[in-house]
């Protein structure tokens, strides 16, 4: 799978990603400013979250729920982790064992902890408004 998109096409792109893959665990590899959080916002919205989506950089994880309060997605940002032990300390493995979707930014910080069913996606900056996403 390879998609080229602009911000105006985010919801369509998010829908295509969710329709294309049967996994619920996604790892996004991309440079700073490539739009990881922006794409994850679209994915979470597509799943029906009612919460405002933001980057969990300082809290490491944000939980998003449906209208009845059931968790439907967890959004991780590992940018500030010093080592993998920090991820284990806050119970990362427990999150991997839920039925909720898992969206991870900076997964290269926890490579040895990633489960087998993770889908690795790379976002590339093509120009100021255009991105390309592909499987790694």
Question: What tens digit of pLDDT does each residue of 48-65 get?
Answer: 887 666 565 556 888 998
104 exposure class (CB count in 10 Å sphere: 0-12, 13-18, 19+): buried
Q: Which two tokens stand for residue 39?
A: 């794409």
Average pLDDT rounded to a whole number, residues 104-123:
96
Instruction: Assess contact for 56 and 77: CB atoms under 8 A.
Output: yes
The predicted model scores a pTM of 0.91
% helix / strand / coil in the chain, to the nearest 5?
30, 30, 40
Count CB-CB contacts under 10 A for residue 112: 5
Under CATH, what is the fold of the domain 2-135? Rossmann fold (3.40.50)
């Amino acid at each position: 799978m390879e998609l080229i998109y602009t911000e105006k096409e985010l919801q369509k792109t998010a829908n295509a990603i969710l329709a294309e893959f049967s996994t619920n665990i996604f790892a996004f590899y991309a440079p700073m400013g490539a739009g990881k959080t922006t794409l994850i916002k679209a994915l979470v919205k597509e799943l029906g979250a009612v919460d405002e989506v933001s980057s969990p950089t300082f809290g490491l994880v944000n939980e998003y729920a449906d209208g009845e309060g059931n968790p439907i997605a967890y959004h991780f940002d590992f940018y500030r982790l010093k080592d993998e032990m920090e991820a284990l300390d806050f119970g990362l493995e427990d999150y991997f064992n839920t039925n909720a979707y898992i969206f991870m930014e900076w997964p290269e910080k926890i490579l040895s902890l990633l489960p087998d069913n993770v889908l690795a996606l790379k976002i590339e900056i093509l120009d100021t408004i255009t991105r390309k996403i592909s499987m790694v």
